[in-house]
Amino acid sequence: MVGVTLALLLAREPGLAITLVESISFPPLEPDAPLPYRPSFDARNTALSRRTVSTYRELGLWDDMQLHATSIHEIHVSERGHFGMSRLVADEENVESFGQVIENAWMGLVLLRALRQCSNVTVRDGVTLTGIRVQESHVSAELKKGDESFTLSAPLLVAADGANSPCRELLGVNATTTAYDQVALVTTVATHLPHDHIAYERFTESGPMAVLPLPENRRAVVWTLPAGTEQPLIDCSDDEFLAQLQAAFGKRAGRFVKTAKRFAYPLALTVAQTQTQPRAVILGNAAHTLHPVAGQGFNLCLRDCLALTERLAQRHREGGDIGEFSLLRDYENARIDDQHNVTSFSDRLVRGFSNNTPGLTLLRNVGMVTFDLLPAAKQALARYAMGLSH
Ligand SMILES: Cc1cc2nc3c(=O)[nH]c(=O)nc-3n(C[C@H](O)[C@H](O)[C@H](O)COP(=O)(O)OP(=O)(O)OC[C@H]3O[C@@H](n4cnc5c(N)ncnc54)[C@H](O)[C@@H]3O)c2cc1C
């Protein structure tokens, strides 16, 4: 999602030629046919902040994206079995929504079609990267498609190849990884009550849980569990899973009546030791992979994409070298505070709410009640979650 979004942002700059390399094979898309949407109970979803939505609007993609997205009008934060509760309401913050939840599969199709329509973007899918050579005037990527090997050269390589980034390794950049000893169990459910555009962030004994509104009255569940406890919840019958979910979440959202398959993702905080080198930038999850508890990972990456695009476009317009190290360092320096704030906010949220020491439980519940009574603090957090302030 990050690599494609960056390519689309850069493609607006006339004269820049972009090649997107992806190891999986993309589905074929007819240029003028409707996108093949399959309503799914199994889809993974992403909560997009207002800032992210407005970027896709500027790219002319939001009309298509919103066909299968749902707005968030309220955010309820609470701790299961305790009195603390806080509520953020869009109306009270003078916005019509805090953001939108979209199915990744649909968003991917919209992005992909847009990419195929850009005359200055070449898409090379089904291709694996095998080597990188950095030289003074350019960088070369050695690639393989089936039995065919070939090399691409450019003034700049952007590595947006995920948390286990092969590019990062080939560039010789270390990353620190701190395992949370948790997994995110992800699924889609339905309740007997309408979702009313409410997003729940619920801190349970097993770990934080997000229940987000989706189109057609479905809800996305991201349930953090101690690593090793997820398999029985994946293998059990749907009825058994629904009963366990209800017991963990409580009744705030109504009765859970339907569930899809469950998938588990191991969770770790991964941070690259540097994000820039001569002729290379490390971006997206390859640069920083966060706990999904606050739904901020992709939104943060998108702000990185905007900052990088601005610098590359300006340098290109001036006729300069877009792979020059000082330009790339300037990008990294400009982004480091926001990245650090979001990373440590998500990390502290997980650790603070995964600790059941009685004094701490009381403290955070008092904290939530106090927070609920402080309009200025709520406004600050709401602006932060919407991606409008750092
Ligand atoms: C359960 C869960 C829920 C989340 N929810 C939210 C949310 O609500 N809001 C939010 O903002 N963020 C959320 N996130 C975070 C978000 O998913 C990530 O920030 C985002 O996926 C990062 O995208 P990326 O493109 O950097 O990496 P990836 O999605 O990992 O993409 C990397 C790409 O590189 C390709 N690739 C890998 N190796 C090679 C190679 N050698 N050659 C060529 N291509 C290669 C891969 O095939 C892949 O397509 C969530 C994450 C999880 C786990």
Q: pLDDT, tens digit, for every residue of 115-145?
A: 999 999 999 999 999 999 999 999 999 999 9
**Is there an atom of ligand 1 within 6 Å of 33 CB?**
no
pLDDT band at residue 30 using 50, 70 and 90 as cut-offs: confident
State residue 272's pLDDT score: 98
Domains of the chain with bracketed CATH: 2-69+98-171+276-353 (3.50.50.60)
**CB atoms closer than 10 angstroms to residue 243:** 13
**Mean pLDDT over residues 301-307, rounded?**
98
Contact (CB, 8 A) for 154 and 312: no
pTM of model > 0.85: yes
Distance 228 CA to ligand 1 centre (A): 23
**CB atoms closer than 10 angstroms to residue 58:** 12
Can you tell me which residue has the tokens 């920083």?
A: 288
**Is there an atom of ligand 1 within 6 Å of 93 CB?**
no
Burial 199-208 (b: 16+ CB within 10 A, else e): bbbbbbebbb
Distance 286 CA to ligand 1 centre (A): 9
**Is there an atom of ligand 1 within 6 Å of 3 CB?**
yes
Cα 165 from Cα 145, distance rounded (Å): 19
pLDDT band at residue 348 using 50, 70 and 90 as cut-offs: confident
Distance 160 CA to ligand 1 centre (A): 9
**Is there an atom of ligand 1 within 6 Å of 267 CB?**
no
Q: pLDDT, tens digit, for every residue of 50-103?
A: 999 999 999 999 999 999 999 999 998 887 665 566 788 888 888 889 999 999
Nearest CA to ligand 1 atom 38: 161
Distance 277 CA to ligand 1 centre (A): 22
Task: Supply 305's token pair.
Answer: 């994409």
**Is there an atom of ligand 1 within 6 Å of 199 CB?**
no
| Residue 152 CB burial class (10 angstroms; 0-12, 13-18, ≥19) | middle
CA angle at 376 for the pair 369 and 360, rounded to the nearest 5°:
30
Q: To test ligand 1's pocket by mutation, which of 8, 19, 21, 23 has the most ligand atoms within 8 angstroms of CB? A: 23
Can you tell me which residue has the tokens 């106090």?
A: 370
Q: To test ligand 1's pocket by mutation, which of 4, 19, 22, 188 has the most ligand atoms within 8 angstroms of CB? A: 22
**Is there an atom of ligand 1 within 6 Å of 203 CB?**
no
Distance 92 CA to ligand 1 centre (A): 33
